[in-house]
Amino acid sequence: MSAATHLTKLGITVEQAYDFIIANVDQPEIIFDTAEEFAVTTAMLSEITQFSTAVISDYFASFNLDTGKLDDTHILINSDPEALSALIAFNERTGILSNESLRGFVQQSLSDPSQYDSVFGPQFPFQDDDGVYDAEELGVATLNNIPATSESIESLFYGSLINMFLRFDQIELNQIVFFPVAERRGSDDFQAYVFEALSDIPLTVPRPDDNWQDWSSGKRPF
């Protein structure tokens, strides 16, 4: 999404944003915090200022500010899902893998079940102001203008997770399940393995209901 389109949602023009940045150029924390608050990404700052994203990143880095934080603005996915976009879909299953069933299971495992719905809300307050989520807000080019409700995001989350689960054959699934949980986040090897496994069509497909016991015992793939 262009900076102009995004700023219009906030009632701000590109010129006003530029003036704000220039007025605070010697106070990078103010620029950074404001950009982070209103989901203005590094690419948008580049469009506003006409400086390259590399220059902007270096500018903030010189003050120990990481522009990577500015780019985590999407509700569903913050990386490029193009190769796996076919897996992203609403959950229309019934029975044990229905949204209702999965919701009940997860809520039972939470110390505060009331926190459940907040997980499926917008990243920023303005994202649901118009009643729909667009492709930029979701982070998925193939989705657009879905109802801005927690039920929509919940269904997309479970539907996509199940589709991913079904892409693994039994050997891949076992390797993922038993990869140390503490080492998954930030592990390039783990991420590369999962991506490769998701890109393959399995020769033998594990049935979700057959593996439900593993899920319910805490041995989840992610």
pLDDT at 194: 82
Per-residue pLDDT of the chain (222 residues; tens, 9 = 90+): 789 999 998 999 999 999 999 999 999 999 999 999 999 999 999 999 999 999 999 999 999 999 999 998 988 877 666 667 888 999 999 999 999 999 999 999 999 988 898 899 998 988 988 899 988 889 888 888 999 999 999 999 999 999 988 888 888 888 888 888 887 877 778 888 887 888 776 545 445 554 444 444 444 444
| Residue 121 burial class via C-beta count within 10 angstroms: exposed 0-12, middle 13-18, buried 19 and up | middle
* 8 Å CB contact between 46 and 52: yes
The pTM of the full predicted model, rounded to 2 decimals, is 0.73
Tell me the C-alpha distance between 88 and 72, whole Å: 19
Tell me the C-alpha distance between 21 and 51, whole Å: 12
pLDDT at 219: 44
Name beta bridge partners: 67: none
pLDDT at 195: 79
Tell me the C-alpha distance between 49 and 163, whole Å: 41
pLDDT at 27: 97
Quick one: how far is CA 90 from the chain centroid? 15
Tell me phi and psi for residue 201, to 5 degrees: -95, 120
Radius of gyration over every alpha carbon of the chain, rounded to an integer in angstroms: 20
pLDDT at 24: 98
Q: For the chain, give every domain's residue range.
A: 3-71, 74-158, 168-222
Strand ranges for 80-190 from DSSP E: 132-133, 146-147
**pLDDT tens-digit map of 55-74:** 999 999 999 999 999 998 98
Strand ranges for 43-144 from DSSP E: 132-133
Instruction: Pull the structure tokens for residue 137.
Output: 């807000």
- Nearest to residue 219, comparing CAs of 173, 150, 172? 173
pLDDT at 82: 64
User: What does each C-alpha distance from 193 to 30, 49, 67, 166 come to in angstroms?
Assistant: 39, 39, 27, 15
